[in-house]
Structure 1
């Protein structure tokens, strides 16, 4: 099993989790939908590159990692070939209210920024290696800046979040206009029909900011679920 390479513990209950801990996150279409914890017997583990949306198993699992108070992020893309439009129609962009294993919250997408950032956190139309604007987007805050001391020895950030081979659909529409790559070359021009994706890069502590049409369906673009809940 592709267990997240964190120094945290595998927990059975969300209520017992601390930052860096992880929990089995299951989906059973034959019974109750999402479930936290419990046995994985009879469930198919989703590959770290995701599974095609159109042929998801009836019962499958992956892991959720606690990154902040009241916030779990999937350790991988769960479904790929899913469009941003499908996620939005089914309320998985801004948040679908759900109670999972007695915990009330919402399943949604990550925020990922709207443009590149410069060294001061301001907007830049070129990739300067400082992440995305605004700098408090969840991809940079929780994935790229996941505490180094919570990654197991001998492993990398990709062994925790499995992001290097695919893009994660994020919530935002990019700022319109011409974008440039890290060499300063004109890359392409964003429009109102595009949506942000993060991931798919070989650099250790930085992951690419990109965009695609909201109706784009690709095996390298997918849904990474977030569970946001009120922690008492």
Structure 2
């Protein structure tokens, strides 16, 4: 995996990150030239990575990239995550100025068995065709759920290392598969670091579900645990069984994906606004734009010896879309043009139509979150 060449550490939790640290994030491209994408499985690196110039327009591509911490509450992708998409399409999806409907990262990965791809799902009992991992497979319909061979029981997920969970969701059963009476009614969520000694984190009593209803439960938790267990002490009336479609474990990190700002004019050698309609290779103006602040001026002391800025942010041969529209003195059609950055030099600036689509223009995610 081409990890960013910073002197920081690979982290599994956003809350542990310092400037220069990085964390893995998975992406999937769902559309062709649209901005249809999803980000998930934060903190689970693997060998299947996004190309350094991003996914092309082929659909259903999946891979991992890294988010580097550059400031308090700000993580910037170490590469363009996908190309062959226009600024207009990104903006229509909210990925330029901030995707407002973003949900917190679900800490549990999409499980394909009780032990793959990461961690371990287990339960007090399970039906052979409805195993514990099926409550973590992110499949909500059909015969894809966990079912215990008793009216009460527990289901748990074991992380590879401690995670701080402060929110979880339960999704009830599809009535096309079972009666709503099989859903949990009373339960506790518990945490442990050895699988034997448990701390009760949240208690719910007298709950009921409509078909495929998702309930989100929030609680206060300051501790990291490797094991989290949902201990169901009563179901909604069915004799002999209890079941659950999905269980998601989440942290308290809430934020938005967006793009960097990149300036609205070319800068001159003094860092002032240039009247030129040609890039002078001194970056963009005003200099407080995020591309220059976080990428061009990334601290040299946080780059590994013998490595370069491109080994951290992989800016060569691809432009990253930014939020900004150029000033009138640069472009005659100002409302239809934008200011991508990078490609030939880290300071590089380009005037580009917001509708342009090409393999050398792409989306570099920024994750902005509230850090206390």
Same fold by TM-score greater than 0.5: yes
Report the more deviating stretch, 44-53 or 61-70: 44-53
Deviation of the 1:33 alpha carbon: 4.3
Structure 1 equivalent of residue 259 of structure 2: 109
Structure 1 equivalent of residue 180 of structure 2: none
Q: Choose from 59, 67, 72 the match for 2:75.
A: 72
Deviation of the 1:129 alpha carbon: 4.1
Gaps of 5+ in 1: 180-188
Q: Choose from 153, 174, 182 the match for 2:305.
A: 153
CA RMSD of aligned residues (A): 2.0
1:151-180: CA deviations, max 9, x gaps? Answer: 00101000100001100000011112347x
| CA gap 1:56/1:111 in 2 versus in 1, 3 angstroms | farther
Q: Choose from 202, 226, 232 the match for 2:366.
A: 226
Q: Is the 8 A contact 1:174 1:190 kept in 2?
A: no
Structure-2 separation of matches of 1:167 and 1:144: 14
Query: How high is the TM-score relative to the length of structure 2?
Result: 0.55
Query: How high is the TM-score relative to the length of structure 1?
Result: 0.86
Asked if residue 195 in structure 1 is aligned to residue 200 in structure 2, the reply is no
Structure-1 separation of matches of 2:71 and 2:284: 20
Q: Is the 8 A contact 2:8 2:22 kept in 1?
A: yes
Structure-2 separation of matches of 1:29 and 1:111: 23
Asked if residue 86 in structure 1 is aligned to residue 89 in structure 2, the reply is yes
Gaps of 5+ in 2: 31-37, 107-250
Which aligned pairs between 1:112-151 and structure 2 lie closer than 5 A? Answer: 112-126=262-276, 127-151=279-303
The answer to which structure, 1 or 2, has the higher relative contact order (CA under 8 A, 6+ apart) is 1
Structure-2 separation of matches of 1:35 and 1:28: 11
| CA gap 1:208/1:33 in 2 versus in 1, 3 angstroms | closer
Count of residue correspondences: 216
Deviation of the 1:35 alpha carbon: 2.7
Q: Choose from 34, 42, 56 the match for 1:36.
A: 42
Structure 1 equivalent of residue 105 of structure 2: 100
Q: Is the 8 A contact 1:115 1:124 kept in 2?
A: yes
Q: Is the 8 A contact 1:175 1:190 kept in 2?
A: no
Structure 2 equivalent of residue 211 of structure 1: 351
| CA gap 1:143/1:174 in 2 versus in 1, 3 angstroms | same
| CA gap 1:215/1:143 in 2 versus in 1, 3 angstroms | same
